[in-house]
Amino acid sequence: MRYRERPERPEEWAEYRTRARHGWTVPFLAVDWVWEWVAHFLSHWAFLEALEYLSSFGVLVAVIFYFAESGERTRQRHLQMWQVMNTAQGKGGSGGRIEALQELNEDRVPLVGVDVSGAFLRGVRLRKAGLVRANFSGVDARDGDFSEGDFSFAELQSGNFRDGKFERAILRDADCADGDFSGADLSGADLSRANFSNADLHSADLRDVQWRAIKSVKTANIYGVKNAPEGFVEWAMKNGAAQTAP
């Protein structure tokens, strides 16, 4: 609660004038004295005091409405991001899709079924993204971060994911045929029923991957894979994989 302290009654002019140390300052003192009296009289107007309280109340109302409408503003922003995605669909380049994808994911919007095939998404950051049945075929997503993302049933054919991060990502039933995963970090990823036929996995980090139910590694290149689980290399070679130096 605010309390307004009313100013004391100003001095009479004869007394106030004694403050002047030089004659040339008297006009300035006179102006200051007049305004002190004006402030004194106005301080007794209840109307002005009411206006001050109404001003504070108006600020409070504006703050309330701002937060009340935050949900609508967020929805409008998401619609704009989806419009960017839809407009650029089927086209090369980024077309603003990197920023749109990242912003939607930061707001925890599921990206189920999103189609970014053929897009340039180098360095995109989509940690913990929900990308079930997404289409990433033919994308250039080198150095992308997809850690803990869910690519179940996604299409990643011929995608360039070189040096990407797929730590603890879910790639169950994903089609990764002809994909470039060289140097990628797949540690802890779930590769159950994923298709890696003709994929390039050389120098990829396979620490703790769930590999026993992989659908295919036929003609996949596993040269120099790092931290491969026990039995993986032998199994892969028996199932058509190759070890070809790049």
Q: What is the pLDDT of residues 75-107, one digit of tens each?
A: 788 878 788 777 767 667 777 899 999 999 999
User: Do 147 and 167 touch, CB atoms closer than 8 A?
Assistant: yes
Q: How far apart are CA 170 and CA 186, in angstroms?
A: 10
Task: Kindly give the residue spans of alpha helices, DSSP state H, lying in the chain.
Answer: 13-16, 26-42, 46-68, 70-88, 97-106, 232-238
CATH code: domain 90-246 is: 2.160.20.80
Domain extent listing, the chain: 13-68, 90-246
1 SS3 class: coil
Q: The whole model's pTM is what?
A: 0.70
Q: Which residues of the chain have pLDDT under 70?
A: 1-10, 13-17, 19-20, 23, 25-26, 28-29, 33, 37, 39-73, 88, 90-91
